[in-house]
Amino acid sequence: MAQLSAGDELKGRRALITGGLGFIGSNLARRLVADGVEVTLVDSLVPEYGGNMFNIAGIEDRVIVNISDIRDRYSLAHLVRGKDLLFNLAGQTSHMDAMADPYTDLEINCRAQLSILETCREVNPEIKTIFASTRQLYGQPQYLPVDECHPLRPVDVNAINKLAGEQYHILYHNIYGIRTTVFRLTNTYGPRMRIKDSRQAFLGIWIRCVTEGIPFEVWGGDQLRDLTYVDDVVEAMVLAATSDSADGQIFNLGGEGSIDLRSLADLLVDLSGSGKYEVREYPRERIAIDIGDYYADFSLAESTLGWTPKIPLAEGLMRTLNFYREHLPHYI
């Protein structure tokens, strides 16, 4: 008899994914649809963010799409009702945009999160919620690898607001018994990531440049990073959705080891069979919010959820390159 996967337990459940047309949300939607989950996606399609109708190509008839903004609490109240699971992934993720317009970042990453949790409390306190947070909360690491006990020293407005959003989730678990799990994501990559510009992730624009055959820029180059392939992030979220021991917990996700940016650039060029890059000094306006080296200790996710990253970096990058070679026009 085949072993049941975590996803089998979810068959027939009803899930809402905020940011559902975005990078992680749409990959999660594909996985959940395959597992027999009734999936509703909510997305604002704000042009600078990651929502893209093409991200659900092939599953568009098997999901419900609701275009609205998580800042609109009335639409959320309607959508949250009757769901078993809430994957709360919508967010403003650009650190530079957050510094330029801190109020919008606050409204999305802080106030809307409070509003979503109040909505759960009012209309559906039984719902199970998975929240996507960020390693950016830790600021510049004081030790490596960084575990969940590391001090929280946000170095930009985005991280301060994300921290508040995360803390609301844990608080609503502790006070009101809402079942919430928080993941602090590191650099997540894979098909359907936003590659239009460097707004959200350096790797996106690298992949675009390599695919288009133009040189890309590596800023600095010595910084260590860890990367998680999107399917591994999705697996962690599915595991949390089916685990009571994840309730009220915060988990780091990470990758297999760490890599400096120059080596990562070399690997990408190697895998693509073409492409080149230039190393540039770190831009002045970004130095103040840079965090230096980072890689995560994800042993808590390992011991509690049985999660480890499964997809090796070279394989994940190859899959990603192949995806954009085929679908580039939908992402630029």
Site residues (vs its own copies, CB under 8 A): 99, 102-103, 106, 110-111, 114-115, 118, 149, 151-152, 154-157, 160-161, 163-164, 167-168, 171, 174-175, 288-289
Nearer to its own copies, 122 or 315 (CB): 122
CB of 114 to its own copies, least distance (A): 6
Question: Is 270 strand, coil or helix?
Answer: helix
Sort strands 38-43 and 14-18 into parallel, antiparallel or unpaired.
parallel
Nearer to its own copies, 142 or 303 (CB): 142
Give the C-alpha separation, 216 to 205, whole Å.
Answer: 8
**Cβ neighbours around 282 below 10 Å, total:** 12
Question: Is 48 strand, coil or helix?
Answer: coil
CB of 161 to its own copies, least distance (A): 7
Give the C-alpha separation, 167 to 131, whole Å.
Answer: 11
Nearer to its own copies, 168 or 307 (CB): 168
Listed in sequence order, the residues at least 6 apart from 10 whose beta carbon sits closer than 8 Å to its beta carbon are 32, 35, 36, 37, 85, 238, 241, 242
Nearer to its own copies, 156 or 235 (CB): 156
Amino acid at 315: E
Nearer to its own copies, 221 or 248 (CB): 248
CB of 102 to its own copies, least distance (A): 6
Sort strands 224-225 and 259-260 into parallel, antiparallel or unpaired.
antiparallel
CB of 238 to its own copies, least distance (A): 28
Nearer to its own copies, 116 or 203 (CB): 116
- Residue 300: Cβ-neighbour burial (10 angstroms; 0-12, 13-18, 19+): middle
Tokens of 219: 């800023």
Nearer to its own copies, 92 or 242 (CB): 92
Q: What is the DSSP string of 297-311?
A: --HHHHHHH-----S
Q: What is the DSSP letter of 200?
A: S
CB of 111 to its own copies, least distance (A): 6
**What does each C-alpha distance from 187 to 52, 75, 224, 258 come to in angstroms?**
20, 31, 11, 11
Nearer to its own copies, 1 or 175 (CB): 175
CB of 164 to its own copies, least distance (A): 5
Secondary-structure percent of the chain, ordered helix, strand, coil, rounded to 5: 45, 15, 40
CB of 69 to its own copies, least distance (A): 17
132 strand-pairing partners: 183
Q: What is the DSSP letter of 244?
A: G
Nearer to its own copies, 2 or 149 (CB): 149
CB of 247 to its own copies, least distance (A): 16
CB of 131 to its own copies, least distance (A): 14
Listed in sequence order, the residues at least 6 apart from 273 whose beta carbon sits closer than 8 Å to its beta carbon are none
Residues 196, 204: contact at Cβ < 8 Å? yes
